[in-house]
DNA sequence: TTGTATGCGTTATCAT
DNA sequence: ATGATAACGCATACAA
């Protein structure tokens, strides 16, 4: 059923039907009523693709995430939908499974006039990313990583880890282990580690490579990393760069017969929903991922709305230290 | 940059460019090379919307979920992407926030030739759902609920709860509380409860309304429900219809000064990723949500591929009883 | 106030 | 083997 058919049934021209559908232009009350009657009668719904082609916009926002089945990603997406729905925009999700190549491809593909703007939650930013991003014909907002020349929504990782580190030291810990991720992830792998190293130095604590382990993002990685550390030395506290890593570490510590937090304290970062329901509840840093999605979407719409060149800006999301019982004062 | 421009730059007709892009029709090697050179040169990417209009298909699958920021939903979506990517299909996500109306709207909207097929993860199926679904011009697959006339991917809730109930009774429990959800959710609210009731009868256990509480899906709801039950009576075991409800219940039980599982045993359903990392690790039923997403997508493609009327079928997803330490033998 | 006709960017049909 | 052109369904400029 297309606009022509409706026109015929209502005894008017296609243009009139279009005017009724979009509520613009002049159309007499009786014709309008006739058209509306037919529309309701046959349950006519316009072809969105044809509209997109004609209007040169799809009312779709592309979202690129490294892995949708992750609490972080799904909360970001939730935040994005929160604001896109007020604008009647739809979300096209590209799940890249942490494959850099997939990410680049999605970036290219989505921009082919399929979407009006793109939000990308990134873990790693390569030169290739930047190159493709520069060629984009639609606005792009990045979440989670810094990318020169684009609006980025960032978590204040350095300050967060610093605050957390200070709190751990203030609680009387001197042997603080660190479980991190690959340095290619600038924000999580590099900055969080740097804050740890700077923390050691600031408190005149020695750097001990035996207390540092680098792994992937999974719970299992946390387990492996902690196991490696325990083979060499027993720290009094462990700082993991994500809650999942912390959970794996806790498991490993228990499997070695130690108690938490009596023997070893553990902290995470992220404050996943279940962090407070673990036992002991996890001391961590709360990031409001949903908010970051909302802000990214708002920024994107800002760029889409204004014709002139926008000014890229970095926006830092607030964080909160969440003190629970997985860390014990000594 | 459109096909016409490429044609001009390469000194050929638009038709030839199209042939090169799609690798069909005849085109001499030298012309092909010329066209390819220009395409690479200017980084040409075809307009997907125009292609969709012309081809009468968008290569987009619509996915309707009640709440994306939920482990269940995101794992289902993950499964769907797993198979859509092999077909070069994109995913359009409609996050309905558990609003029935939003669900209906999405169903209507997505079908307007915007998507080639729809997968809907449902919590409640109303007459309105069915009516709109029947008018759909694209195939539809339902996950999680039964809907007459459509292919449904279902969790075998009755059997799962029955197995779990039997296990609880076999472990020596007689006072078994039940925390459920609203009956409008047929599968989770109704069938799981019916299996509980039938379990009582089969084992000649009395039905005690004081031991049954109905709430929403959240952890907080589990807490509230359990608190209400504890005000009246102390069961030896609690069966919650989701892991989140179980987690809330555990919290409530502990806040009343009881130990788990020594004083009260608790079970969940779903086996969220963290279930095994709780203390005590949660006894639950494992559902492979990712698999259900994959199967739904495969079913959808089956329907999209064949021209003739397909036969709606119900597909049940396997489950596994996962015995952990939140339930104690008496 | 309404209708006719054109074009959005692509593909496919039909000539050549 | 290649090119001109119509058509996909809609919105809009222009004519009436």
pLDDT reported for residue B298: 97
pLDDT at A241 over 90: yes
Global pTM?
0.95
Q: Do the chains contact at B251 and A49, CB–CB below 8 Å?
A: no
- Cα separation of B37 and B44, whole Å? 10
The mean per-residue pLDDT over the stretch A166-185 comes to: 97
Neighbours of B210 (CB within 10 A): 12
Taking every pair of Cα atoms in chain B, the longest distance, rounded to a whole number of angstroms, is 86
pLDDT at A171 over 70: yes
Q: Which CATH number fits domain B157-287: 3.10.20.440, 3.20.20.70, 3.40.50.2300, 3.30.2030.30?
A: 3.40.50.2300
The mean per-residue pLDDT over the stretch A223-244 comes to: 98
pLDDT under 50: residue ranges of chain B: none
- Cα separation of A55 and A78, whole Å? 27
Contact present, B243 and B144 (Cβ < 8 Å)? no
One-character DSSP codes across B284-319: EEEE-HHHHHHHHHHHHHHHHH--SPP---EEEEPE
Q: Do the chains contact at A74 and B70, CB–CB below 8 Å?
A: yes
The mean per-residue pLDDT over the stretch A105-112 comes to: 90
**Chain B closest CA to A93's CA: distance in Å?**
6
In A, minimum Cα distance to B248 occurs at A277
- Chain A residues 23-52 within 7 Å (CB) of strand C: 25-28, 30-32, 50
Residue A81: both structure tokens together: 């939908």
* A68-96 confidence digits (pLDDT tens): 999 999 999 999 999 999 999 999 999 99
CATH 1.10.260.40 is right for the domain spanning B3-46: yes
Residue A275: both structure tokens together: 């962090």
C3 C1' to B56 CA distance, Å = 28
* Three-class DSSP category at B136: coil
Contacts of B86 (CB under 8 A, 6+ apart): none
- Cα separation of B129 and B133, whole Å? 6
- Cα separation of A132 and A146, whole Å? 16
Q: Do the chains contact at B78 and A92, CB–CB below 8 Å?
A: no
The band of A311, judged by pLDDT with boundaries at 50, 70 and 90, is confident
Neighbours of A3 (CB within 10 A): 18
How would you label A209-224 residue by residue, b for 16+ Cβ within 10 Å and e otherwise?
Answer: eebbbbbebebebbbb
Contact present, B319 and B286 (Cβ < 8 Å)? yes
Contact present, B319 and B285 (Cβ < 8 Å)? yes
Structure-token match 């035996």, residue found: A210
| CATH topology match: A56-155+289-317 vs A157-287 | yes
Q: Is there a cis peptide before residue B32, judged by omega within 30 degrees of 0? A: no
Which nucleotides of strand D lie within 7 A of protein CB?
Answer: 1-5, 7-13
Going from N- to C-terminal start, the domains of chain A cover 3-46, 56-155+289-317, 157-287
How many angstroms separate the Cα of B116 from the Cα of each of A49, B129, B304?
12, 19, 8
Residue A61: both structure tokens together: 């926002």
The band of A310, judged by pLDDT with boundaries at 50, 70 and 90, is confident
* Three-class DSSP category at B30: helix
Enumerate the β-bridge partners of residue B265.
B237
Residue A246: both structure tokens together: 């912390």
Contact present, B120 and B143 (Cβ < 8 Å)? yes
Contact present, A303 and A149 (Cβ < 8 Å)? no
The band of A244, judged by pLDDT with boundaries at 50, 70 and 90, is very high
pLDDT reported for residue A308: 65
* A2-30 confidence digits (pLDDT tens): 999 999 999 999 999 999 999 998 999 99
pLDDT reported for residue A307: 66
Contact present, B59 and B34 (Cβ < 8 Å)? no
Q: Which CATH architecture has domain A56-155+289-317?
A: 3-Layer(aba) Sandwich (3.40)
């Amino acid at each position: 059923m297309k606009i022509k058919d409706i026109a015929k049934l209502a005894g008017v021209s296609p243009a009139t039907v279009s005017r009724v559908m979009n509520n613009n232009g002049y159309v007499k009350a009786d014709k309008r009523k006739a058209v509306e009657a037919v529309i309701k009668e046959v349950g006519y719904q316009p072809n969105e693709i044809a509209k997109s082609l004609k209007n040169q916009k799809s009312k779709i926002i592309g979202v690129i995430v490294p892995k949708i089945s992750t609490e972080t990603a799904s909360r970001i997406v939730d935040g994005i939908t929160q604001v896109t729905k007020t604008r009647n925009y739809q979300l096209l999700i590209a799940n890249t499974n942490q494959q850099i190549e997939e990410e680049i491809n999605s970036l290219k593909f989505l921009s082919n006039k399929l979407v009006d703007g793109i939000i990308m939650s990134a873990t790693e930013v390569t030169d290739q990313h930047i190159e493709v991003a520069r060629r984009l014909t639609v606005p792009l907002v990045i979440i989670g990583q810094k990318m020169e020349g684009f609006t980025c929504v960032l978590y204040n990782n350095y300050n967060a880890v610093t605050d957390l580190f200070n709190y751990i030291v203030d609680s009387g810990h001197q042997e603080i282990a660190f479980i991190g991720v690959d340095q290619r992830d600038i924000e999580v792998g590099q900055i969080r580690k740097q804050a740890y190293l700077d923390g050691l130095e600031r408190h005149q604590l020695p750097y001990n490579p035996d207390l540092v382990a680098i792994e992937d993002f999974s719970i299992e990685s946390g387990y492996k990393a902690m196991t490696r550390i325990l083979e060499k030395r027993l720290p009094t506290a462990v700082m993991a760069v994500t809650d999942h890593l912390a959970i794996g570490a806790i498991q490993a510590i228990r499997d070695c017969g130690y108690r938490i937090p009596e023997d070893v304290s553990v902290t995470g970062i992220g404050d996943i929903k279940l962090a407070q329901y673990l036992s002991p509840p996890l001391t961590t840093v709360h990031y409001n991922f949903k908010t970051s999605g909302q802000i990214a979407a708002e920024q994107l719409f800002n760029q889409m709305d204004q014709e002139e060149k926008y000014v890229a800006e970095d926006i830092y999301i607030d964080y909160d230290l969440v003190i629970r019982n997985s860390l014990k004062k000594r």
